[in-house]
């Protein structure tokens, strides 16, 4: 059949852009850039590897007690550390100097545990140097509830991370640096326990990054060359088992360097915080209506009055909200999701009402008409 664009070649999805023999080259370049070239976040040429927006007030309070050396070596593009994770097992992919691990160590409490994995010796040394004192002297724990292991985020199996051993997986502007993003997502799905979640920020593009940009070592280190086209990321996530990626936050990235801007043309880059739930058998490709109602209990510290699941779903304490089957599953249908203790989910899947059309609030048995939400919750 004819095509208005001529004969088409299979598009690269960004997962295989640098395979096999080139993987070690990418890893070495990244280690050199983050271990030796960058001395602090002030040396960055773009805003890609600096936090987008202000973190939650509770996180800002906790940051005040984190050692300065750990903070100054932080190169993230968001604040992907969820609240309400007491007692959970957290894994940080590409933990760097350990800032998000230190935050998580405080949030999970003495009964939880945090593991950071990174391939850069200099960053691991910073993270390890302060861990014991922070946990014992600052947090008042009997010992450290953090460990930092050397390894690649595509090879969690080789780093000893076991199947279904993690409740929350976080990552901050690191997956774009990987030469095999598809494997990163497959490994993430493997190590997450059922009901667990990948809650992470990274850099994405509104189009596929050209080959000549992918070869630029500085832009690779600045998290630009390895940025995935947003639609390609969604396809990779779904192929790994994460059926319904949802967006919590999205912010534009400024390219301050004139040479970079000239090479990139009109391409636009964004810092996006995604949430990917591991809920086998519960998530569907589309939003379906089973009549589920979700009620937030107000039990997450820092979100006592309301809770925002993503950029389309906010739940006021005690107010019933009609949700699609996928959102019901994420919030706790059947008690599988780690969110289940914070929500009451009413209804089951015995009766299907067709495609989900929106999220009107439910009050005293009637639906109060509000501005309809998008038909798809994913």
Of the ranges 227-231, 248-252, 359-363, the best mean pLDDT one: 227-231
Residue 48: predicted pLDDT: 52
d(CA 52, CA 80): 11
Asked whether residue 245 falls in the same domain as residue 148, the answer is yes
Q: Residue 323 is part of a domain; what is its CATH number?
A: 3.40.5.100
172 forms bridges with which residues in the sheet? 201
- For residue 5, is it within any domain? no
C-beta of residue 94 within 8 angstroms of C-beta of residue 73: no
Asked whether residue 182 falls in the same domain as residue 238, the answer is yes
> pLDDT tens across 33-77, in order?
444 454 444 445 555 555 456 889 999 999 999 999 999 988 877
Asked whether residue 213 falls in the same domain as residue 361, the answer is no
Asked whether residue 242 falls in the same domain as residue 304, the answer is no
Residue 377: predicted pLDDT: 58
Instruction: Output the average pLDDT for the chain.
Output: 86
Residue 6 pLDDT class (50, 70, 90 cuts): very low
Domain boundary among 247, 277, 307: 277
338 forms bridges with which residues in the sheet? none
Q: What is the model's pTM?
A: 0.85
Asked whether residue 273 falls in the same domain as residue 301, the answer is no
| SS3 of residue 202 by DSSP | strand
Asked whether residue 232 falls in the same domain as residue 313, the answer is no
Give start and end residues of each alpha helix (H) in 5-78. 21-32, 57-63, 68-72
- For residue 287, is it within any domain? no
> pLDDT tens across 306-343, in order?
999 999 999 999 999 999 999 999 999 999 999 999 99
* DSSP letter for each residue of 93-131: ET-TT-HHHHHHHHHH-TTSEEEEEES-HHHHHHHHHHH
| SS3 of residue 83 by DSSP | coil
| Number of structural domains in the chain | 2
Asked whether residue 110 falls in the same domain as residue 255, the answer is yes
Residue 4: predicted pLDDT: 39
Asked whether residue 51 falls in the same domain as residue 123, the answer is yes
d(CA 319, CA 275): 23
- For residue 374, is it within any domain? no
16, pLDDT greater than 90: no
Asked whether residue 217 falls in the same domain as residue 304, the answer is no
d(CA 346, CA 194): 21
Chain-centre distance for alpha carbon 98: 16
Mean pLDDT of 302-306: 98
Residue 221 pLDDT class (50, 70, 90 cuts): confident
- For residue 378, is it within any domain? no
283, pLDDT greater than 80: yes
Chain-centre distance for alpha carbon 299: 22
Residue 215: predicted pLDDT: 86
- For residue 105, is it within any domain? yes
The CA-based angle 316-319-322, given to 5 degrees, is: 105
- For residue 112, is it within any domain? yes
CB atoms inside a 10 Å sphere around CB 344: 14
C-beta of residue 175 within 8 angstroms of C-beta of residue 205: no
d(CA 306, CA 295): 10
Residue 364: predicted pLDDT: 40
Mean pLDDT of 333-357: 97
To the nearest 10°, the Cα dihedral for 317, 321, 327, 330?
A: 30
Residue 13: predicted pLDDT: 44
Mean pLDDT of 141-169: 98
Asked whether residue 314 falls in the same domain as residue 256, the answer is no
Residue 296 pLDDT class (50, 70, 90 cuts): very high
C-beta of residue 246 within 8 angstroms of C-beta of residue 310: yes
Higher-pLDDT residue of 22, 57: 57
Domain boundary among 224, 251, 277: 277
Domain boundary among 277, 302, 334: 277
| SS3 of residue 253 by DSSP | coil
Residue 79: predicted pLDDT: 78
Least confident of 30-34, 94-98, 165-169, 239-243: 30-34
| SS3 of residue 88 by DSSP | coil
Asked whether residue 305 falls in the same domain as residue 269, the answer is no
- For 65, the domain range is 21-277
Mean pLDDT of 259-282: 94
To the nearest 10°, the Cα dihedral for 40, 133, 161, 178?
A: 0
d(CA 355, CA 235): 21
Asked whether residue 183 falls in the same domain as residue 245, the answer is yes
Q: Residue 100 is part of a domain; what is its CATH number?
A: 3.40.50.150
């Amino acid at each position: 059949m004819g095509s208005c664009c001529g004969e088409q070649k299979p598009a690269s999805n960004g997962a295989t852009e640098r395979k096999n023999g080139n993987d070690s080259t990418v890893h070495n370049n990244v280690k050199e850039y983050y271990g030796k070239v960058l001395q602090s976040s002030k040396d960055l040429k773009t805003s890609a590897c600096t936090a987008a927006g202000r973190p939650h007030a509770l996180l800002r309070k906790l940051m005040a007690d984190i050692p300065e050396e750990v903070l100054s070596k932080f190169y993230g593009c968001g604040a992907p550390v969820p609240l309400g994770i007491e007692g959970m097992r957290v894994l940080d992919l590409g933990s760097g100097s350990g800032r998000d691990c230190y935050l998580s160590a405080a949030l999970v409490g003495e009964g939880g545990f945090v593991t950071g994995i990174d391939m850069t010796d200099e960053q691991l040394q910073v993270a390890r140097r302060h861990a014991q004192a922070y946990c014992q002297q600052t947090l008042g724990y009997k010992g450290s509830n953090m460990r930092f292991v050397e390894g690649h985020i595509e090879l969690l199996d080789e780093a000893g991370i076991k199947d279904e051993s993690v409740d929350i997986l976080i990552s901050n502007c690191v997956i774009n640096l990987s030469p095999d993003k598809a494997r990163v997502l497959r490994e993430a799905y493997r190590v997450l326990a059922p009901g667990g979640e990948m809650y992470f920020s990274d850099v994405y593009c509104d189009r596929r990054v050209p080959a000549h940009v992918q070869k630029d070592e500085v832009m690779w280190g600045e998290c630009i060359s390895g940025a995935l086209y947003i639609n390609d990321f969604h396809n990779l996530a779904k192929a790994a088992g994460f059926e319904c990626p949802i967006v919590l936050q999205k912010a534009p990235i400024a390219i301050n360097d004139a040479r970079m801007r000239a090479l990139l043309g009109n391409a636009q880059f964004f810092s996006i915080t995604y949430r990917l739930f591991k809920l086998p058998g519960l998530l569907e490709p589309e939003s379906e209506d089973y009549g589920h109602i979700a009620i937030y209990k107000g039990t997450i510290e820092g979100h006592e009055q309301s809770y925002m699941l993503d950029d389309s779903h906010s739940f006021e304490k005690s107010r019933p909200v009609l949700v699609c089957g996928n959102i019901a599953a994420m919030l706790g249908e059947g008690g599988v999701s780690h969110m289940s203790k914070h929500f009451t989910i009413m209804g089951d899947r015995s009766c299907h009402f067709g495609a989900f059309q929106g999220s009107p609030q439910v009050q005293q048995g009637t639906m109060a008409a509000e501005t309809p939400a998008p038909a798809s919750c994913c």
